[in-house]
Structure 1
Amino acid sequence: MREIIQNELNDKDLLLFIHSPFCGTCHVAEGMLRQIETTLDKDIFFHMNASLHESFMYEHKIESVPCLFIRENGETRKKVYAFHSIANILSILLEQKPELFDRMS
């Protein structure tokens, strides 16, 4: 997982983990996403400190953190606020971004 830079926020396709460094739930969610990256053996998520990108938060109507923001072809596909389990996040990714799992078949 790597920190996003300003010009990457405009990318058409994006898997962005939005967090606050003072949020305990965010730390748990980040651990789940890191485990998914380890399982897939590739970095697929960007991460962003919500307090440093207020305009992005407002423009995309991000309601709370943690949030997994999924954008494809320039359109917001999904905003995930509840990180129930790794299996739950994997099922969302399989539904929204099945190409991530092509190599695993």
Structure 2
Amino acid sequence: MRELNEQDVRIELDGRGISNAIYLYTPLCGTCNAARRMLEVAEYLLPEDAISAANVNIMPQIAQDFQIRSVPALLLLSSDSKATPSVHYRMGSVEELLSAIRSVIE
């Protein structure tokens, strides 16, 4: 999982990046660590670089722009660059995460 800074996130959001999902987290969040482990498993079943990660503690403007209510969150970027990214908060299982990410890949 590639770690992004705020500039990298903006590039992904502009549609010039390669990720289909950006995992938003904070480093000291226990639930975020569990979600990261599930996403790492999901990565093996997805195209390379489909998922990136970003620490929202260092990018408050991104959190505000997308009205991120809690972490962990998955910002899903459609292949259609004009579509508004959606935010997925439920990290119930690897299958659920795969389904959410695949919905924007295809």
Q: Same fold (TM over 0.5)?
A: yes
Secondary structure (helix, strand or coil) at the match of 1:48 reads strand
Contact 2:77-2:104 within 8 A present in 1 as well: no
Which protein shows a greater Rg?
1
Give the Å deviation of 1:5. 2.6
In structure 1, give the amino acid aligned to 2:2.
Answer: R
Q: Which residue of structure 2 lines up, in the alignment, with residue 26 of structure 1?
A: 32
Contact 1:71 1:77 in 2 (8 A): yes
Q: Give the unaligned 5+ runs of structure 2.
A: none
Aligned residue for 2:28, secondary structure, equals coil
- Give the helix-richer structure, 1 or 2: 1
Uncovered stretches (5+) of structure 1, i.e. residues with no partner? 99-105
* TM-score, length-scaled by structure 2: 0.81
- Contact kept, 8 Å, 1:69 with 1:80, in 2: the verdict is yes
What corresponds to 2:3 in structure 1? 3
Q: Number of paired residues?
A: 98
2:94 pairs with 1:86: yes
**Which of 37, 62, 84 is 2:43 aligned to?**
37
Give per-residue Cα distances to partners, 1:31-88, cap 9 Å, x unaligned: 1111111233623211111110011101111111000001231533321111010111
- Distance in 2, matches of 1:4 and 1:19, equals 12
CA distance, structure 1, for counterparts of residue 47 and residue 83 of structure 2: 27
Query: How far apart in 2 are the matches of 1:9 and 1:94?
Result: 20
